[in-house]
Amino acid sequence: MRVAFVRAWLMVAVATLGACVGSGSAGTDRDRSRVVDLGHALAATDPSWDGTPAFSRTVDATFAANGYTAGRFATEEHFGTHVDAPAHFAAEGLTVDRLAADRLVRPGVCIDVQSQVRGNEDYRVTRADIEAFEHAHGAIAEGTTVLIATGWDARWPDASRYMNTRAGVKHFPGLSVEAATLLARDRRVAAIGIDTPSIDYGPSEQFEAHRVTMAAGLYHIENATELTTLPPTGFTVIVAPIKIKDGSGGPARVFALVGR
Nearest alpha carbon to residue 233 among 145, 160, 172? 145
CATH number, residue 189 = 3.50.30.50
Tell me the three state secondary structure of residue 183.
helix
CA 208/CA 191 separation, integer angstroms: 16
In a domain, 4, yes or no: no
| pLDDT, tens digit (0-9, with 9 covering 90-100), for 134-168 | 999 999 999 999 999 999 999 999 999 999 999 99
Tell me the three state secondary structure of residue 196.
coil
Tell me the three state secondary structure of residue 113.
coil
In a domain, 213, yes or no: yes
Instruction: Say if residues 214 and 183 touch (Cβ distance below 8 Å).
Output: no
- Residue 196: give the domain boundaries: 36-56+73-258
In a domain, 163, yes or no: yes
Give the distance from CA 126 to its chain's centroid: 19
In a domain, 168, yes or no: yes
| pLDDT, tens digit (0-9, with 9 covering 90-100), for 27-49 | 445 557 899 999 999 999 999 99
pTM of the predicted protein model: 0.89
Average pLDDT over residues 82-88: 98
- Identify the bridge partners of residue 84 per DSSP, sorted by sequence position: 220, 249
25, HSE (Cβ side, Cα atoms, 13 Å): 0
- Number of domain units in the chain: 1
In a domain, 14, yes or no: no
Instruction: Say if residues 144 and 35 touch (Cβ distance below 8 Å).
Output: no
